[in-house]
Amino acid sequence: MRRYLVLLFLLFFLKNNLSAQQQLTVTQCEELLQKNNLYLLAEQYNIDASKAALIQAKIWEQPYFSGEINAINPADNRYFDAGKNGQKSFAIQQLIYLGGKKRNEVAFAKSNIILSELQYEQLLRSLKFQLAQSFYTIYYDQIKANSIRTQINSIDSLTKAYETQVSKGNIPLKDLVRLQSLSISLKNELMEIDKNILQEQQNLRLLTSAESPIIPIISDTNNMATLLNKPMPNVSNIEQLAVEKNTDYLYYQKVAESNELMLKWQKSMAVPDLNIGAAYDQRGGAFNNQVGLTFGIPLPLWNQNKGNIQAAKVQVMQSKTLKEQKLQELKYGIQTSYEILQQQRNLYHQFSVNVTQNMQKVYEGFLYNFHKKNVSLIEFTDFMESYNQTIVSFNEMKKNIVVSGENINFLANEKIF
């Protein structure tokens, strides 16, 4: 009865654990990323703030109103004599920007909106790349883990049988120890792979804000056959595409353009602005109820904004240098990633397409012959170690090819592979 209850509990636990997981493609994960990622949501506020700064840049200075009324009339010994026969004056002035200041300020504010949007695209692109790395790492590590678990189950079954035979004195203890050592080695390797899967699962859940673990599914459009059989495009075409679409390079390009606008704005700041307005004076002017036109303009004698203009020129030169540096990094990065992917594909194609199927057949044959005592224990354990290393390396190779393709997609900001 107790054994029956324990079995029911284990089945219930496994059912709940499986139902808590969700199977998603990389496209579905990217949709969750754009919808739920908190970093992206926070970065969106920078765009809104830049748009608010543009609204402020378009606003002109407030008109300035001033007035004066009589406080003491010493001739008639009256206070606050501002009536019909008293004295009062009023004036209103408006600042008029000259030299294109307001136009240049608005243009600079618009450039900041573009930079904020590019920063958002940079973050989105970077997070998508991280997501793809975690997604494909989990997928291929799970394949490796399942293969090792199958081997462990076979080895453990043999170990139990050997334990019985050792206790009867039919098999030497050293053979049992050899099997146990192989089992421990496989379990340690499995533990490391499972640990890596858990870490990548954590990254994937943080990126997507998923409440439960994600089981990666590779759809037909993203499978290994498509990636391996697709012809390699010309590297110069990828470089040209990256120059047009890579958000990191575009950001530096727009920073240089924004600094040019800042320089233009600072030069216009050297042009004095005009204050113009109207004034009314009841009795203090040359005439009673005098209405006059007022104007004023600063004389550019000491401050011609030279320091700010020079600083803006330096920023322009600096941003152009950084833009060229980023262009070099982009081209060299694409060339290196292209060569790495080409080498990995060539290495993969050196193996038989059905290498895993062939290895599985050989594994089953070795296991069968070992049970039939046609294969020695040393031959069997050596083969198991070699078989495990081959399966792990083969899946690692496939993962590296996919990640390398994603790296080129990341640099070009375009789905090439």
Lowest mean pLDDT: which of 39-53, 139-153, 166-180, 249-263?
A: 166-180
Decide if 142 is inside a domain.
Answer: yes
Classify the C-alpha dihedral 407-408-414-417 as positive or negative: negative
**Residue range 74-115, pLDDT digits in tens:** 777 787 877 777 888 899 999 999 888 999 999 999 999 999
Q: How many CA atoms lie within 13 A of 33 on its CB side?
A: 24
User: Above 70 in pLDDT, residue 63?
Assistant: yes
Contact 413, 246 (CB under 8 A): yes
Q: Please state whether beta strands 22-25 and 214-217 pair in parallel, antiparallel, or not at all (unpaired).
A: parallel
Tokens of 140: 């291929």
Q: Both 181 and 257 in a single domain?
A: yes
User: Above 80 in pLDDT, residue 178?
Assistant: yes
Domain CATH for 339: 1.20.1600.10
User: Above 70 in pLDDT, residue 224?
Assistant: no
* Helix (H) or strand (E) run with residue 285 in it: none
- Best mean pLDDT range from 163-177, 205-219, 356-370: 205-219
Q: Which pLDDT score, from 0 to 100, does residue 52 have?
A: 93
Q: Both 243 and 331 in a single domain?
A: yes
Decide if 78 is inside a domain.
Answer: yes
Q: Both 212 and 290 in a single domain?
A: no
CA 417 to chain centre: 19
Percentage of residues in the chain with pLDDT exceeding 70?
92
Confidence tier at 12 by pLDDT (50, 70, 90): very low
DSSP, collapsed to helix, strand or coil, labels residue 218 as coil
User: Above 50 in pLDDT, residue 390?
Assistant: yes
Q: Both 313 and 255 in a single domain?
A: yes
Q: Both 79 and 213 in a single domain?
A: no
What is the crossing angle of helices 247-269 and 235-245, to 10°?
40
Tokens of 121: 């695209």
CB atoms within 10 A of CB 407: 21
Q: Which pLDDT score, from 0 to 100, does residue 114 have?
A: 92
Q: Both 180 and 285 in a single domain?
A: no
Decide if 388 is inside a domain.
Answer: yes
**Residue range 338-360, pLDDT digits in tens:** 999 888 888 887 775 566 667 77
Contact 294, 276 (CB under 8 A): yes
Decide if 5 is inside a domain.
Answer: no
Q: What is the CA radius of gyration of the chain?
A: 38
The whole-number average pLDDT for the span 191-208 is: 92
Contact 327, 243 (CB under 8 A): yes
User: Above 90 in pLDDT, residue 72?
Assistant: no
DSSP, collapsed to helix, strand or coil, labels residue 63 as coil
Residue 335 per-residue DSSP state: H
Q: Token match 């493609």: residue?
A: 25
Q: Both 316 and 173 in a single domain?
A: yes
The whole-number average pLDDT for the span 16-33 is: 77
User: Above 80 in pLDDT, residue 225?
Assistant: no
CA dist 48 and 236 (Å) reads: 37
Structural domain containing residue 258: 20-60+100-270+305-412
Residue 211 per-residue DSSP state: S
**Residue range 226-282, pLDDT digits in tens:** 677 777 888 888 998 899 889 999 999 999 999 999 999 999 988 898 999 999 988
Confidence tier at 20 by pLDDT (50, 70, 90): low
CA dist 254 and 378 (Å) reads: 66
- Backbone dihedral angles phi then psi of residue 374, each to the nearest 5 degrees: -85, -15
Chain mean pLDDT for the chain: 84
Q: Of 398, 405, 404, 349, which is closest to residue 144 (Cα–Cα)?
A: 398
Q: How many domains does the chain have?
A: 2
CA dist 205 and 210 (Å) reads: 5
The whole-number average pLDDT for the span 281-301 is: 85
Q: Both 82 and 224 in a single domain?
A: no
Q: Both 24 and 136 in a single domain?
A: yes
Q: Of 350, 349, 378, which is closest to residue 366 (Cα–Cα)?
A: 378
Lowest mean pLDDT: which of 19-28, 146-155, 180-189?
A: 19-28
Contact 90, 67 (CB under 8 A): yes
Q: Both 383 and 259 in a single domain?
A: yes
- Spell out where 202-358 has E strands: 214-217, 274-281, 290-296
Q: Both 71 and 55 in a single domain?
A: no
CA 14 to chain centre: 35
Contact 144, 392 (CB under 8 A): yes
Q: Both 248 and 294 in a single domain?
A: no
Decide if 258 is inside a domain.
Answer: yes
Decide if 39 is inside a domain.
Answer: yes
User: Above 70 in pLDDT, residue 29?
Assistant: yes
For residue 106, with 0-12 CB atoms within 10 Å meaning exposed, 13-18 middle and 19 or more buried, which class applies?
middle
Decide if 188 is inside a domain.
Answer: yes
Q: Which pLDDT score, from 0 to 100, does residue 278 have?
A: 92
CA 299 to chain centre: 51
Domain termination site, one of 260, 284, 302: 302
Q: Which pLDDT score, from 0 to 100, does residue 108 have?
A: 93
